[in-house]
Structures are given as structure tokens and as C-alpha cells.
């Protein structure tokens, strides 16, 4: 411990008792509450539990296939049968929900993303298969056209423009397709204007009143999505970038407007994405709106931690837990994270 000691007195061999009692001593010692594990546990403000986790998984065609994604070490594209296995395991570890992302056969991708509307597409088949073996697991699906378009954009492209209203029409079809296949929670990640209200209305019209809408409300045009695009096979095909629809990383107030609109349009839950570089946005959204707020620890965030951990540059397990706890402190109610099963296993063990 370091004291603001009086140098002259400290150097004299025999310090008189009167001087010792005058040694400046802090009345408030923050360290008292940190002195032992039991004390730290009692004053802990935030905790991470399995209830905070949603696990994003990548599905592909085939059987008995698990294919690693080079830029996402530890993450695999799984055939549906393997996805069923993994989903069951995650559920038994206490993970409440998974989010499905398809690696669509490149031959099925076209400029209009028509495969998104196919009732037997990969996501729909995966939904039915997982539902059958794991009826209690929450199933979240992504609404956006990028896994299905030949140009890799989330919407329809005319020339260099991403068409908003025409895209929303297709997204409605995609959302209904997923709801019919058994999705519990529809998560539009496309950032078109007006899609939350349009999708909510369409779901209600078809009797899907209980299907939740998780709006990727504040989604930034981020470099941290790189490994995800490898996983769904759009990093090579993407024409240009997504800056005309995803948000400018420089903006915070704008995120509040985005969230306000999605709340007005009926979003049950809002999301901020990416996560760790945008904790300020999570905090502001939670403070302002007080509704369930999720965060996405995106592929690039995961890849950064894993890369350093696999190089022995940091303690991967501790970095994993600390990064996820930070989301809780910032106000997030749940986090989409590729770490979900690992965290669940760790929490269960300890
Ligand atoms: C696609 C979508 C993306 C992510 C989730 N849904 C990528 C993108 O917008 O290009 C990123 C997730 C991640 O990086 O882990 N609409």
C-alpha cells in the first residue's frame, strides 16, 4: 500500500508515536470491500448467467458435416443434423435460444434473393428439425437478404442503389416464411426504413401475434462483421459496402432515433450491434427506453479475442467472461455471442 508519507518523518529511524497517529489515513477505503472473494461477491453489481445468452449458429447443406470457418476459430458451419445435435447440447447447458444463419449454396443465390422465400430453404428446414428435437429452445431467425443475394447486399439492388420499399416487401415474405416454419423470434437485421412496422403487421395478419420481433435497431456499418461474411459466404461477393443503410459509426444520437422508430413500430426487443465498441450506445438506449435491449458480440469481436488467446497473448477464458459481463454492466439484457456454449459450460462447471 502506498501512503502519502511525510518524507522527513519516514526517513527518521524512530518515528514518535504522535507522528504515527497523524499519518494521513483515508477514512474511506474502497479496498475493504475487495479484500476477499466472499466480500467481492456480496457487493457485485452485475452477473452473467446462462439466461443472458443467445447462440448464433451457421447451417449448411449436407449430412454429418461440420466445417470450420477460418476467420472464426472454434465456429463451424453445420449440416442440419449436426445443428440439431449442437442445439440440443446448448439447451441442455442452459442456453435459452439460438439464432440461425444459413450458408446458402452459391448456385441458389440471385439478385432478388428469391431463396429467402422458399418454404424449404435451409433455415426453414433447420427450424423444423430443431423444433422437433428441442421444442423448448427459443429459435431466432435473421431477416435480411444477404445470405441469398448474388451481390451480398441485405436488400434489392438497382444500379448502385439499395431499394428500400421494394426490399421491405420481400422481407415481409421472408419473415412470414420463417414464422410458418416455426421461428419464435424474428430479427430483422437489414436496416431498411419501416420494416419493423410492416413485418409486425404482416405477422399479426397471419395470426402470428406471439412471434416476437427483435429489431436490429442500431446496427452500424462495421468492419467487425468480416468473419461473419466469410461464414455465410458473402465476403467475396459483396459489391461495395453497406453504408447507405447501416449506421455511421460516428453517430450516437441517431441510434436513439432508430430505436425510437422501431419501438413505435412494435419492436418487442431492440438490439445494438456490434457490441463492445458501442457500449455507450447500449447504455443510452437502455436508459432512454428501458425496454429489453440485446447486444451482439459480433464475429470480429469474437475473432479478436480468439486470435489473441490462441497466440497466448491473453487469457481467452477471462477475456471472454469479462467482455460479456461488460455488456451486462452497460445495460444489455442478453447477448448474442459465439461463446454461448463455452460460457454455459464454464458457468455450469464453476
Ligand atoms: C446480415 C447480418 C450480418 C451480421 C448479422 N446479420 C452481417 C452484415 O450486416 O453484413 C453480422 C454478425 C457478425 O458479424 O457476427 N444482415
- Asked whether residue 335 is assigned to any structural domain, the reply reads yes
CA distances from 237 to 72, 116, 156, 169, 192 (A): 19, 17, 15, 24, 21
Cβ contact 84:134 at 8 Å? yes
- Does the pLDDT value for residue 4 go beyond 70? no
- Does the pLDDT value for residue 6 go beyond 60? no
Q: How far apart are CA 232 and CA 235, in angstroms?
A: 8
What confidence category does residue 17 fall into, taking pLDDT thresholds of 50, 70 and 90?
Answer: low
- Let me know whether 228 and 100 are in one domain: yes
- In degrees, rounded to 5, the angle at the alpha carbon of residue 259 between the alpha carbons of residues 255 and 261 is 120
Name the burial class of residue 209, with classes exposed (0-12), middle (13-18) and buried (19+) by CB atoms within 10 angstroms of its CB. exposed
- Asked whether residue 41 is assigned to any structural domain, the reply reads no
- Let me know whether 23 and 96 are in one domain: no
- In degrees, rounded to 5, the angle at the alpha carbon of residue 190 between the alpha carbons of residues 189 and 194 is 105
60: domain CATH number is 3.20.20.70
- Let me know whether 18 and 55 are in one domain: no
- Let me know whether 116 and 256 are in one domain: yes
- Let me know whether 13 and 78 are in one domain: no
* Omega before 182 within 30 of 0, i.e. cis: no
Q: Is residue 104 within a helix (H) or strand (E), and if so which, with residue range?
A: none
> What residues does 97 pair with on adjacent strands?
54, 138
Cβ contact 144:162 at 8 Å? no
Structure confidence by residue, pLDDT tens digits, 190-209: 999 999 999 999 999 999 99
9 noted as active-site residue? no
What confidence category does residue 236 fall into, taking pLDDT thresholds of 50, 70 and 90?
Answer: confident
pTM for the whole structure: 0.93
Q: How far is the CA of 327 from the centre of ligand 1 (A)?
A: 19
- Let me know whether 26 and 54 are in one domain: no
Q: Please choose from 189, 190, 246 the residue to mutate so as to test ligand 1's pocket, defined by most ligand atoms within 8 A of CB.
A: 189
CA dihedral 254, 171, 202, 98 (to 10 degrees): -80
**What is the domain extent for residue 131?**
49-349
- Asked whether residue 201 is assigned to any structural domain, the reply reads yes
- Asked whether residue 18 is assigned to any structural domain, the reply reads yes
> Which listed residue (219, 242, 286, 328) is catalytic?
219
- Asked whether residue 43 is assigned to any structural domain, the reply reads no
- Asked whether residue 38 is assigned to any structural domain, the reply reads no
- Asked whether residue 39 is assigned to any structural domain, the reply reads no
> Which listed residue (242, 273, 286, 328) is catalytic?
273
- Let me know whether 123 and 24 are in one domain: no
Within 6 Å (CB) of ligand 1, which residues are found?
142, 144, 146, 154, 189-190, 225, 228-229, 242, 298-299
- Let me know whether 110 and 136 are in one domain: yes
Higher pLDDT, 4 or 339: 339
- Let me know whether 9 and 68 are in one domain: no
**Where do the DSSP E strands lie in 93-227?**
97-102, 138-143, 156-158, 161-163, 185-188, 212-219
The residue behind cell 401475434 is 209
- Let me know whether 23 and 124 are in one domain: no
- Asked whether residue 42 is assigned to any structural domain, the reply reads no
Q: How far apart are CA 280 and CA 282, in angstroms?
A: 5
Q: How far is the CA of 41 from the centre of ligand 1 (A)?
A: 36
Structure confidence by residue, pLDDT tens digits, 271-292: 999 999 999 999 999 999 999 9
* Percentage of residues of the chain with pLDDT beyond 90: 92
**Where do the DSSP E strands lie in the chain?**
53-60, 66-68, 76-79, 97-102, 138-143, 156-158, 161-163, 185-188, 212-219, 269-273, 293-297, 334-337
The residue behind cell 421491405 is 168
- Let me know whether 319 and 207 are in one domain: yes
Question: Per the structure, how many domains does the chain have?
Answer: 2
For the chain, the distance separating the N- and C-terminal CA atoms, rounded to the nearest angstrom, is 32
219 noted as active-site residue? yes
Mean pLDDT throughout 163-174? Answer: 98
- Does the pLDDT value for residue 2 go beyond 80? no
- Let me know whether 89 and 12 are in one domain: no
Ligand 1 atom nearest the C-alpha of 338 is: 15
Amino acid at each position: 500500500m502506498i501512503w502519502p508519507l511525510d518524507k522527513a518523518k519516514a526517513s527518521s529511524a524512530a518515528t514518535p508515536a504522535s507522528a504515527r497517529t497523524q499519518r494521513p489515513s483515508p477514512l474511506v477505503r474502497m479496498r475493504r470491500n475487495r479484500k476477499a472473494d466472499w466480500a467481492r461477491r456480496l457487493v457485485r453489481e452485475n452477473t452473467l448467467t446462462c439466461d443472458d445468452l443467445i447462440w448464433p449458429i451457421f447451417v449448411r447443406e449436407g449430412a454429418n458435416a461440420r466445417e470450420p470457418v477460418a476467420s472464426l476459430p472454434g465456429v463451424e458451419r453445420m449440416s442440419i443434423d449436426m445443428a440439431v445435435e449442437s442445439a440440443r447440447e446448448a439447451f441442455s447447458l442452459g442456453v435459452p435460444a439460438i439464432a440461425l444463419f444459413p450458408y446458402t449454396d452459391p448456385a441458389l443465390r440471385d439478385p432478388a434473393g428469391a431463396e429467402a422465400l422458399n418454404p424449404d430453404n435451409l433455415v426453414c428446414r433447420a427450424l423444423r428439425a430443431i423444433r422437433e428435437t428441442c421444442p423448448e429452445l427459443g429459435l431466432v431467425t435473421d431477416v435480411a437478404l444477404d445470405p441469398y443475394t448474388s451481390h451480398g447486399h441485405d436488400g434489392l439492388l438497382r444500379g448502385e442503389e439499395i431499394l428500400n420499399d421494394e426490399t421491405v416487401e420481400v422481407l415481409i415474405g421472408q419473415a412470414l416464411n420463417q414464422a410458418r416454419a416455426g421461428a419464435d423470434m424474428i430479427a430483422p437485421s437489414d436496416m431498411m426504413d419501416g420494416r419493423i412496422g410492416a413485418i409486425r403487421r404482416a405477422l399479426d395478419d397471419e395470426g402470428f401475434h406471439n412471434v416476437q420481433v427483435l429489431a436490429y435497431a442500431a446496427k452500424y456499418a462495421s468492419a467487425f462483421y468480416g468473419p461473419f461474411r466469410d461464414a455465410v459466404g458473402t465476403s467475396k461477393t459483396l459489391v461495395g459496402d453497406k453504408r447507405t443503410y447501416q449506421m455511421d459509426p460516428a453517430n450516437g444520437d441517431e441510434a436513439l432515433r432508430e430505436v425510437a422508430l422501431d419501438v413505435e413500430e412494435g419492436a418487442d426487443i431492440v438490439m445494438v450491434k456490434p457490441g463492445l465498441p458501442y457500449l455507450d450506445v447500449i447504455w443510452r438506449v437502455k436508459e432512454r427506453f428501458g425496454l429489453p435491449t440485446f447486444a451482439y458480440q459480433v464475429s470480429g469481436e469474437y475473432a479478436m479475442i480468439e486470435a489473441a488467446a490462441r497466440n497466448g497473448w491473453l487469457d481467452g477464458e477471462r477475456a471472454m467472461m469479462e467482455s460479456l459481463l461488460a455488456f451486462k454492466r452497460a445495460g444489455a439484457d442478453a447477448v448474442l455471442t459465439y461463446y454461448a456454449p463455452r460460457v454455459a459450460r464454464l458457468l455450469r462447471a464453476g
